[in-house]
Amino acid sequence: MASLPVTLDTINPKVLECEYAVRGEIVILAQKLQEELKNNPNSQPFDEILYCNIGNPQSLAQQPITFFREVLALCDHPALLDKPESKILFSEDSIQRASQILGQIPGRATGAYSHSQGIKGLRDTIAAGIEARDGYPADPNDLFLTDGASPAVHMMMQLLIRSKNDGILCPIPQYPLYSASIALHGGTLVPYYLDEATGWGLEVSELEKQLKTAKSNGISVRALVVINPGNPTGQVLAKENQEQIVDFCKKEGLVLLADEVYQENVYVADKKFHSFKKVARSMGYGDNDICLVSFQSVSKGYYGECGKRGGYMEITGFKPDVRDQIYKLASVNLCSNISGQILASLIMKPPKEGDKSYESYVKEKNAILSSLARRAEKLEEVFNSLEGVTCNRAEGAMYLFPRLHLPEKAIEAAKGAGAAPDAFYARRLLNATGIVVVPGSGFKQVPGTWHFRCTILPQEDRIPAIVTRLTKFHKEFMDEFRS
Amino acid sequence: MASLPVTLDTINPKVLECEYAVRGEIVILAQKLQEELKNNPNSQPFDEILYCNIGNPQSLAQQPITFFREVLALCDHPALLDKPESKILFSEDSIQRASQILGQIPGRATGAYSHSQGIKGLRDTIAAGIEARDGYPADPNDLFLTDGASPAVHMMMQLLIRSKNDGILCPIPQYPLYSASIALHGGTLVPYYLDEATGWGLEVSELEKQLKTAKSNGISVRALVVINPGNPTGQVLAKENQEQIVDFCKKEGLVLLADEVYQENVYVADKKFHSFKKVARSMGYGDNDICLVSFQSVSKGYYGECGKRGGYMEITGFKPDVRDQIYKLASVNLCSNISGQILASLIMKPPKEGDKSYESYVKEKNAILSSLARRAEKLEEVFNSLEGVTCNRAEGAMYLFPRLHLPEKAIEAAKGAGAAPDAFYARRLLNATGIVVVPGSGFKQVPGTWHFRCTILPQEDRIPAIVTRLTKFHKEFMDEFRS
């Protein structure tokens, strides 16, 4: 008998190399503890696991926007549209919108594969939404609808990366989808460091320095990733800063990959989201000047519909023959799921003033966003109150990324346990409190600094208990290891 | 100004190499003609485009199973469950099933990311369905729910292919997802030819021969792809044949990648679908004997829910450390869409005798499957009646793959037009009749033979018109080129 043919020694080494800490070791431990709690509620010093590791709002009881779900249900079962009882169960404008959407789907077939870029009528709606947002035209043929933003990112990495000599400039800290995708496609991550001291500032001088270093190492840099608002860092870029970035990409011939999935998540009055496309167009740059990809998702914002796997990318500045290649890549997987496509059209064209659902929609949306802003502020304040912890504010997105100034003894203890100091801290935090955060090492960070990422997503009535548990744990941790 | 940085010369050459004819050149031409028809209904010698290129039943008016859509709508908008009007709009058991499913989803949150392998309760249901089908145990932890079968196939190719020296044995003709995925992951497709003369027979002697040739060329063959029922070839494997294939994989240390998405599509009384897992288990082979992956999808069968992008793979025989790597790959994309996950559980546990929806479910299912069987038989008969065309019967799946014995003059004319002879035929067919088929070259075929793939999916009332148009076109084509 031949032994089993697949071992760690015989699989694709790029798979081994790839890491994804958001669902990594700490989360696997959390799932184990949750199982133990289920079997024996007294087995742990806490009674539930609090998943602050991932931007998954509805897993922490955020409710979906009613109008969106009404439309989805009607599109799933169009027979409902003709029933008199539906007039009682559904809002008038959800029935209208569902009818309109079904009219845009060939044969009203929500169970059919669509065009590989997504249903044309839905892309028209999204393009109109982008135009309304930016004040510049958007072309539905520039849109590729995808199962969340992740497959769109993979598609661009697959297109751009030829070998280890191809580099992608990524912020550090970064969302680990980027490092994972670059590793899987065999490229090189070229880091540029965000400046923690200036609120995770993005300096073009740093981009220039890192580009130069990469070039001198024989790396051909293909693209620049910018996450705005930032993940895990929460900063919102100023328009002037974005203009500098656009000019840098134009000058250096880089594709600008703009992760704009948190565009609705801005919590501070002095900052505003500007899409990179709007910024580039406002500088007078068109399709012949810069290659620009904007990623958007139904998973974030006030909607938080992670489980629906909807999203899109808008690509501009690509020549037709290259676009044909992107189309081919999309077509190999046929299309993204139709419910996700419909939802992507809904978030880019929510109810407007005068619509029957408008009031309830605005109320639901504002309640979520204002609560997120309060939670961001509260948790930032708490982190900053802890001994040896500093934390920039979350101007946007869904995360805080506090820095741990750990005592030498803690770092030694981590070494003894075979873990990075922040992973050591996160494991201890989980075991003591049931709170799940992701160690900074999962996002990369300035060597010798330690952080963790914590979402701002637990509901407000849970925050006091979290603060109490966290504060108590941290004090005990410092007492144990203080030099 | 630097010129735009992305050109065909600077993208990943694997992307250039990849081909996907199911949505290739002929389909792009069809979309163009459809647009022309829309603008000018008299612009073509036909009044509509008939898409027979793709297994997309609901795009050709196949209706979804009512029970499935009821459950999906209720899960999308759970507030419906408590409304008295819902008792009028929904079947009793759809309400029960939706409640049960929501109870299996943590926090009833259909908008949350799930476990990266899919919601545990739904995997339990699917595992029970596999057990009921096969009579052998299935483990929910062996299941990975995916957005259709395609991403699952990519995931396995990504795992197994390290370089051009890694080969995957694929049937010829094959479904081009395989050739595309192998090309994108930089591996080598090792062909084995199905024997058209014996109804697309799969001979182990042919597998052995091709494996030997590949080895002598320095190729390390990692896996064998078997599509059963066959796509595009429609044959259903006999159990004895499957046993030989299992023994071959075991002996040669190959992963058996079993594409079983057409398991519900068997149309002939003398053939029956057996899963490879059942066959392997019935031979006494367990997890330590053979690495086996079975792909299933909600897109095919009698359900045909392509747009929902649901599916799963069941992996057995992989050691825990390797499974961890597959889990990591799944987790980079977080999870598949929840509606698709729910639907995957529904197709593996449809209404059973005694349930309120059972009768209507059986009626809908049988109507679809018996009609598909009649269409397969009718179209096979028509193809065989054409001059110079031979066609094996479709025992299963959704396609016929007739062979064109073209006159020399037609082959010359194709050469003059810069096209493969079957692509030339398919283009002429489309321009004359609006019928879209895929040239055999898109699936690969024995060199010097020419085929096309045509689905059996047009509704029965449309078949006579198709037959008339096809027969007339073919006669005129042969009249034009007959030597």
Choose one of A294, A316, A348: the last residue of a domain. Answer: A348
Residue A249 domain-assigned (yes or no):
yes
What integer best gives the mean pLDDT of chain A? Answer: 95
Which one-letter amino acid corresponds to residue A403? Answer: R
Give the residue, A347 or A21, on which the prediction is more confident.
A347
Number of domains making up chain B:
2
User: Would the CA dihedral through B59, B62, B65, B70 be positive or negative?
Assistant: positive
Give whole-number Cα distances, A129 to A120, A139, A349, B233, in Å.
14, 11, 6, 45
HSE, CB side, 13 Å, CA atoms: give it for residue A71: 27
Q: What percent of chain A has pLDDT over 90?
A: 94
Nearest to A70 among B60, B77, B304 (CB): B77
Looking at this protein, which amino acid is placed at residue A87?
Answer: K
Determine the structural domain holding residue A286 and report its residue range.
Answer: 113-348
Where helices occur in B227-267 by DSSP H, the ranges are 239-252
pLDDT at B402 over 50: yes
Identify which of B5, B10, B85 has the shortest CB distance to residue A85.
B85
Of the candidates A86, A114, A339, the beta carbon closest to that of B339 is on A339
Residue A107 falls within a domain, yes or no?
no
Instruction: Please indicate whether, in this complex, the C-beta atoms of A150 and B332 are within 8 angstroms of each other.
Output: yes
Instruction: For chain B, give the percent of residues with pLDDT over 70.
Output: 100
Mutation pick from B332, B364, B459 vs chain A, by most beta carbons of A within 10 Å, is B332
Q: What residues are paired with A189 via a beta bridge?
A: A168
Domain holding A426: CATH number? 3.90.1150.10
Mean pLDDT of the A216-243 span: 97
- CATH number, residue A182: 3.40.640.10
Q: How far apart are CA A465 and CA A467, in angstroms?
A: 5
> With contacts defined as CB-CB under 8 Å, which chain A residues touch B12?
158-162, 185
Residues of B with CB below 8 A from A338's CB? 307-309
> Strand A220-227 and strand B50-51: pairing?
unpaired
Question: Residue A152: closest CA among chain B residues belongs to which residue?
Answer: B333
Mean pLDDT of A387-402: 96
Cα gap A150→A23, rounded to integer Å: 14
More confident residue, B442 or A249: A249
**B111·A83 Cβ contact <8 A:** no
Q: pLDDT tens digits, residue range B218-262?
A: 999 999 999 999 999 999 999 999 999 999 999 999 999 999 999
Q: Which of A348, A378, A412 is the last residue of a domain?
A: A348
Question: Of the candidates A227, A135, A138, A105, which has an alpha carbon nearest to the alpha carbon of residue A177?
Answer: A227
Shared domain check, B369 and B318: no
Distance between CA A395 and CA A398 in Å, rounded? 9
Tell which of A348, A376, A394 closes a domain.
A348
Nearest-Cα distance to chain B for A317, in Å, is 8
Query: Is-contact B107 A58, C-beta < 8 A?
Result: yes
Does residue B75 lie within any of the structural domains?
no
Whether A1 sits inside 8 A of B160 (CB atoms) is no
For position B2, what pLDDT does the model report? 52
User: Both A24 and A169 in a single domain?
Assistant: no
% chain B with pLDDT above 90: 94
Same-domain check for residues A165 and A17:
no
Q: What is the DSSP letter of B140?
A: G
User: In the block, which residue shows the tokens 């040896």?
Assistant: A388
Read off the pLDDT band of B1 (50, 70, 90).
very low
Average pLDDT over residues B40-65: 93
pLDDT digits (tens, 9 = 90+) for A338-374: 999 999 999 999 999 999 999 999 999 999 999 999 9
Q: Are A114 and A341 in contact (CB under 8 A)?
A: yes
Kindly state whether residue A2 falls inside one of the protein's structural domains. no
Is there a contact between B190 and B220 (Cβ–Cβ < 8 Å)?
A: no
For range B337-361, the mean pLDDT? 97
Q: Are residues A332 and A453 in the same domain?
A: no
Quick check: B22 pLDDT over 90? no
State residue A2's pLDDT score: 52
Residues A242 and A372 in one domain: no
User: Do B385 and B337 fall within a single domain?
Assistant: no
Q: How many CB atoms lie within 10 A of CB A480?
A: 12
User: Out of A73, A185, A325, whose CB is closest to B76?
Assistant: A73
If asked whether residues B381 and B248 sit together in one domain, one would say no
Q: Which of A19, A148, A322 is facing B6, going by the closest CB pair? A: A322
CA distance linking residue A411 with residue A439, whole number of Å: 14
A483 confidence band (pLDDT: 50, 70, 90): confident
Instruction: Say yes or no to pLDDT of A404 above 70.
Output: yes
Query: Is residue A96 assigned to a domain?
Result: no
Amino acid A4: pLDDT: 83
Residue for token digits 């008792």?
B87
User: What are all long-range contacts of B235-240, with beta carbons under 8 Å and residues at least 24 apart?
Assistant: B235/B194, B235/B199, B235/B200, B235/B201, B235/B202, B235/B392, B235/B395, B235/B396, B236/B266, B236/B268, B236/B271, B236/B272, B236/B273, B236/B395, B236/B396, B237/B202, B237/B274, B238/B271, B239/B274, B239/B279
Q: How do residues A286-331 score in pLDDT, each as one tens digit?
A: 999 999 999 999 999 999 999 999 999 999 999 999 999 999 999 9
A393 and A315 fall within a common domain:
no
**Cβ contacts of A387 within 8 Å, gap of 6 or more:** A474, A475, A478
- How many CA atoms lie less than 13 Å away from A116 in the CB half-sphere? 21
Provide the shortest C-alpha distance from residue A37 to chain B (in Å).
15
Q: Are residues A208 and A242 in the same domain?
A: yes
CA distance A81 to chain B (A): 11
| Burial per residue of A124-144, b for 16 or more beta-carbon CB atoms within 10 angstroms, e otherwise | bbbbebbeebbeeebebebbb
In this structure, are residues A206 and A200 in contact, taking their beta carbons and an 8 Å threshold? no
Nearest to B305 by CA among B293, B294, B295, B297: B297
Q: Within a 13 Å sphere around the CA of B186, how many CA atoms are in the beta-carbon half?
A: 18
Asked if A184 and A15 count as a contact pair (C-beta separation under 8 A), the reply is yes
Is the domain of A201 the same as that of A234?
Answer: yes
pLDDT value for A317: 96
How far are the Cα atoms of A105, A224, A258, B302, B438 from residue B63, in angstroms, in the given order? 14, 46, 40, 10, 24
Mean pLDDT of B287-316: 97
Q: Which helix (H) or strand (E) holds A52?
A: none
* pLDDT tens, position by position, A419-469: 999 999 999 999 999 999 999 988 999 999 999 999 999 999 999 999 999
Q: What is the pLDDT of residue A1?
A: 42
- B302 with B438, same domain: the answer is no
Does B172 fall in a domain? yes
The string of pLDDT tens digits covering residues A130-164 is 999 999 999 999 999 999 999 999 999 999 999 99
Regarding whether B287 and B139 lie in a shared domain, the answer is yes
Q: Convert A53-83 to b/e letters by CB count within 10 Å (16 or more is b).
A: bbbbbbbbebebbbbbbbbbbbbbbbebbee
Interatomic CA distance for residues B105 and B120, integer angstroms: 8
H helices within B231-319, ranges in order?
239-252, 276-282
- Give the gap in angstroms from C-alpha B475 to the nearest C-alpha of chain A: 32
Residue in A89, A85, A49 with CA at minimum distance from that of residue A71: A89
Residue B322 lies in a domain: yes
Do strands B311-316 and B389-390 pair parallel, antiparallel, or not at all (unpaired)? unpaired
Q: pLDDT per residue over A159-199, tens digit each?
A: 999 999 999 999 999 999 999 999 999 999 999 999 999 99
Nearest alpha carbon to residue B49 among B457, B466, B434: B434
Q: How far apart are CA B393 and CA B389, in angstroms?
A: 13
Asked if residues B272 and B238 have their Cβ atoms less than 8 Å apart, the reply is no
| pLDDT, mean over chain B | 95
Residue B431 lies in a domain: yes
Number of separate helices (H) and strands (E) present in chain B: 17, 14
| Cα distance between residue A71 and residue A91, in whole Å | 9
Q: Side chain identity at B125, as an amino acid letter?
A: T
Angle, alpha carbons A387-A389-A393 (nearest 5°): 135
- Confidence (pLDDT) at A58: 95
Give the gap in angstroms from C-alpha A404 to the nearest C-alpha of chain B.
27
